[in-house]
Amino acid sequence: MDILEIKGTLRPSVGGRTAKDLRKKGHVPCVVYGGQETLHFEAHEFDFKKLVFTDKVYIVKLDLGSTTIKAIMKEIQFAPLTDKVRHIDFQEVNETKQVLIDIPVKFVGSPVGAQAGGNFVKRRRTLKVKALLNDLPNTIDVEVSHLDIGNMMRIGDIPPTTVKIVEDMALPLCAVTMSRAAMKNAQAAANSK
């Protein structure tokens, strides 16, 4: 899994007023928990662009001056009107403890049903998985070239990997549905007989 480094500064005081002042200066108040102690820090909002505005998942290496922590982003809050990042929660991770995280699904191949005029519908773009830090992949690759019109893959159809998928295995992952054009062609062919 890719690592992204973010430099931050520990915050001596916390609270709504302090957080508001930080946001006015273009900084984001953050917290990291799950380790020896909970740490409050701040970093400039531009430092989070690569972490927030992407479909990739990163292990974040937080450089807080006197300490360096590996973490994952657990929760993010946006301002309702401006969509600016208001607050981020991180969870400290290490190589000996399993991590619960959402990993993007990468659909590999082009379904034969889509090539025949069907619509390829992606029902899930991420999956919640549990694994050791060193076993986490950048994506969960799912081969879909065998899917024909009317076929569906469920989460349980994914071949075993190094991670444990923590989802309802009966939920749909993707499907190839009949497009309107394909329905019209099928009806026209049936009517011409």
Q: How confident is the model at residue 142 (pLDDT cuts 50, 70, 90)?
A: very high
The domain boundary residue, chosen from 93, 117, 132: 93
- Examine the domain organization and report whether 176 and 115 are in the same domain: yes
Q: Which residues contact 44 (CB under 8 A, 6 or more apart)?
A: 26, 27, 28
Residue 17 vs residues 10, 23, 80, 160, 190: alpha-carbon distances, Å: 16, 10, 19, 49, 70
Please report which residue ranges of 76-172 form alpha helices under DSSP H: 112-115
Answer for the pair 30, 40: CB distance below 8 angstroms, yes or no.
yes
Q: Is it the case that residue 121 has pLDDT exceeding 80?
A: yes
- Examine the domain organization and report whether 112 and 156 are in the same domain: yes
Beta-carbon count within 10 A of 103 CB:
21
The domain boundary residue, chosen from 93, 114, 138: 93
Instruction: Please give the pLDDT value at position 32.
Output: 95
Q: Which residue has the tokens 């990997």?
A: 161
- Examine the domain organization and report whether 123 and 80 are in the same domain: no
Mean pLDDT value across residues 69-93 = 92
Least confident of 21-25, 175-179, 186-190: 186-190
The Cα 30–Cα 44 span in angstroms is 11
Q: Is it the case that residue 76 has pLDDT exceeding 90?
A: yes
Number of domains in the chain: 2
Instruction: Please give the pLDDT value at position 112.
Output: 93
Full-model pTM: 0.79
- Examine the domain organization and report whether 181 and 108 are in the same domain: yes
- Examine the domain organization and report whether 84 and 119 are in the same domain: no
CATH of residue 89 = 2.40.240.10
The domain boundary residue, chosen from 93, 120, 154: 93
Q: Is it the case that residue 189 has pLDDT exceeding 70?
A: no
Instruction: Please give the pLDDT value at position 186.
Output: 64
Domain that holds residue 66: 3-93
Q: Is it the case that residue 119 has pLDDT exceeding 80?
A: yes
Q: Is it the case that residue 182 has pLDDT exceeding 70?
A: no
Give the residue with greater pLDDT, 1 vs 142. 142
